[in-house]
Amino acid sequence: MKSRAPHIKVYLSDEGYGHIVRQRAVIEAIRRQCPTARFTLQTHRHLEVAQRMIPDVTPVNRFNNITWHKQTSGSPDLGNIRVQFNHYLEDSNAWIERELADFEADAVISDFVYEAFEVAHRKGVPAFGVAHFTWDWFFSKLYPPPLKTDVLEQFFDHAGKATRLFFPPFTPEEILMHYTNAEEVPLILRGSIDHKKVWPTQDFKVMIVDSGSGLLSNSVKRALKNVEGMEGFRFYVNARHATSQSNVELIPQNELLVDYFAEMDLIIGRAGFNTISECIGLRRPLLLLGEAANPEMLENIMNLKKVQLGSFISMDTFESELNTFLPDFLAHEYPYIRERMAQHTLRTTGADTIASAILKHLT
């Protein structure tokens, strides 16, 4: 290792929370292998959340030039995405010049802030991508495509300059085939989970997981109303979905739902990759909700059903027929998914694999 503590700069795109969890897992793994490592974390929209989830980092509040827009249904807002990227090339070049002016790190990690790879290349330091999909793949799956060809070409050029791009299982095959610097690693999970207990019950325990931004809040409330009085089931939700139903338990808002996953018999939630990864790691059966026209969610659902580690429920059924759906699901599909979860051989050491690879470049 270098005689001084290695300084690594982490760039997060301003979208979602799953990438924060993945970068935290990698940072924790690096710290286990190299306790002297120092980290700077740069993002904008979710900087406060990132600081809370990843302690002891130097924060930089700066927009990293990558985000997208949703409609209230959760589907991509093509018009606003098009506007967002209308002047992307000019904004990108300006971002790079600004970043070069005060860049002092020994290495870069990013969930696909493309310019971060270019900055590292110009500074002659290694750069590593950690993600389960790329923005070029995501935007190319939308129709009509909201990004111009020259923007996508710049994405490809910058990412191609990364030292290594790490992707977990279920990453779209097109991505792995396109990037020659791509490497598939095991699932990326936290090294330790603060497992929390719930009040003992003989009921079948179901955790309903919303997005970090509460995108499904109204749908969750309708689903809970539908299962009111349902015997033999107990439902667990974030306390922001306040309800006085006797068969619903509220998890405090400042606690992570994933810390309770091991206690559950079934997880119902959006098909976000972090939820999927945690359930696979803890071997908890999954019932996935999709989002209209969201290519990431559709890809995740397709991949999980293909390996029979989870199933799918439509939003309409979730909201209005969960009381009749669940008993039928438990009688037929659930036992097979539970068995597959118990027997799968997917490794969950991705964070340690990535940390070792990164540290080898800093010796």
Between CA 8 and CA 107 the distance in angstroms is 5
Nearest in space to 217 (alpha carbons), one of 235, 238, 234 = 238
∠ CA 171-179-83 to the nearest 5 degrees? 80
Question: Does domain 204-343 sit in CATH 3.90.550.10?
Answer: no
Between CA 92 and CA 164 the distance in angstroms is 21
| Residue that has been written with the tokens 């860049």 in this structure | 103
CB 164 within 8 A of CB 128: yes
Q: Which two tokens stand for residue 262?
A: 């091991």
| Residue that has been written with the tokens 């997208």 in this structure | 68
Q: Tell me, what's the pLDDT at 14?
A: 85
306: amino acid identity, one letter: K
Q: Tell me, what's the pLDDT at 28?
A: 95
Q: Tell me, what's the pLDDT at 1?
A: 44
Q: Tell me, what's the pLDDT at 213?
A: 61
Q: Tell me, what's the pLDDT at 332?
A: 95
CATH architecture of 7-189+349-360: 3-Layer(aba) Sandwich (3.40)
Per-domain boundaries in the chain = 7-189+349-360, 204-343
Q: Tell me, what's the pLDDT at 212?
A: 61
Q: CA distances (Å), 268 to each of 124, 197, 265, 316, 342, in order?
A: 45, 19, 10, 14, 18
Q: Which two tokens stand for residue 233?
A: 């089931």
Question: Mean pLDDT per segment of 10 residues, for the chain of length 363 residues?
Answer: 79 86 94 96 92 94 89 81 93 96 96 96 98 94 92 96 97 95 94 83 94 75 93 93 88 87 95 91 92 84 91 93 97 96 95 97 88
Q: Please check whether the two domains, 7-189+349-360 and 204-343, share a CATH topology.
A: yes
